[in-house]
Every structure is written in C-alpha cells, then in structure tokens.
Amino acid sequence: MRKFVTMTLASLLLAAGVMVSSTNGSYAWEYEFNLAKFCKYHPSSAKCAHPTQHQSRNTTGQWAVGCGIASAGSLMIGTAIKASDKDKKKRRQLTITEAYWHASACPFLLPLALVAQAACPDNKATYQVATLAYAYVDKHPAADQSAFTRAYGEACRTGKLSRATLVELGGLVGFAAAKPVLRVRG
C-alpha cells in the first residue's frame, strides 16, 4: 500500500510542479503590453494595423495532469485487481516492479519501469512478500510495513526468503505455523 501511495503522490506532485512552472502565459501578456506601447508611438506600423490575438499553444500542464491521472488511475486499477481475487489466498499487493509498470502509463516513467525490471525482476519470493503484506494490511490497516520492505529487498537480492524472515513475517501476519511451538519432553 505504501508503494501505491508513494507512486501516486509522486505522480501528482510532478504534475503540479510542471503546471506551476509553465510561464508562457506571462510572456504572452508581456508581449501584448509591449505591442500596445509600440503602437502608441508608431501607429502606422504594419504590426499595429491588424492586432492579432496571441494564444499560448503550450500544453505541458495539460499533459502533466493527464499523465498524473493516468498513472494514478492505472495504479489504483492494478491494486484493485490484485487485491480482489476470488481466491482469498491469491490476494496480494502489487510488487514494486508491477507498480512501476502501472505507473508507466505516463511515457516519461517508462525508463524507471525498465530499470526496476532489470534491478529486481519478480520471482516467487517477491509474490510471497506481496501476499503476506496484503494479509498484514488487511488485519492492521495503519501499521508499519518496514519488515515487508526489508523482506522485499531480500527477495530481490537472493530470489528467496530465509527461514528467519518467513517466521518474522508469519508472526506479524498471525499465521499459526510461524509461531514457535513448545513441546514438553518427559
């Protein structure tokens, strides 16, 4: 869930930043002001005979908003699909690689998705971490997920999860098999 929120916020902040940095409107106003001042002193000039309406053709802000909405929408749809599987055992969060691919609905994020795919391709362990993280968030909606982030790093590096990591994650989720069993010898 944290991946989803982070990617959504990053996309929306980027879109807002691009919209704010677009300053062509101020340049158009300045041009109109200077043209009026010029025509005051040179009324017979060809520029002043037919004043034209100058409109900005800059669509950067509109594209940024569209990209942000597309990326956020794609992440939401992907998350909803993975989290609402008919088989409850298959419900899970998106892996980081899947989240990057969903966010790349906006073309400028495509290189980031390619780097994520090369750095950590999905494997059985990453899917297992995503499934356990979903089960944990389902039981504890506002809890800390840092253990799952560490486990995901281990799954990326080695391609599998150690027994200690499985016990730790199982204990967090509440699986009975992960709890230590005490036996009395007699």
Residue extents of the structural domains in the chain: 1-22+58-121, 123-186
pLDDT of residue 91: 92
pLDDT band at 108 (very low <50, low <70, confident <90, very high): confident
pLDDT at position 182 over 50: no
pLDDT band at 148 (very low <50, low <70, confident <90, very high): very high
What's this model's pTM, rounded to 2 decimal places?
0.61
- The chain-wide mean pLDDT, for the chain, equals 78
Quick one: what percent of the chain has pLDDT higher than 90? 33
Residue whose structure tokens are 């509440």: 174
d(CA 1, CA 170): 18
- Poorest-confidence range of 4-13, 38-47, 112-121, 131-140? 4-13
pLDDT at position 125 over 70: yes
- Poorest-confidence range of 16-30, 73-87, 97-111, 141-155? 16-30
Count of Cβ atoms closer than 10 Å to residue 12 Cβ: 16
pLDDT at position 181 over 70: no
d(CA 84, CA 81): 5
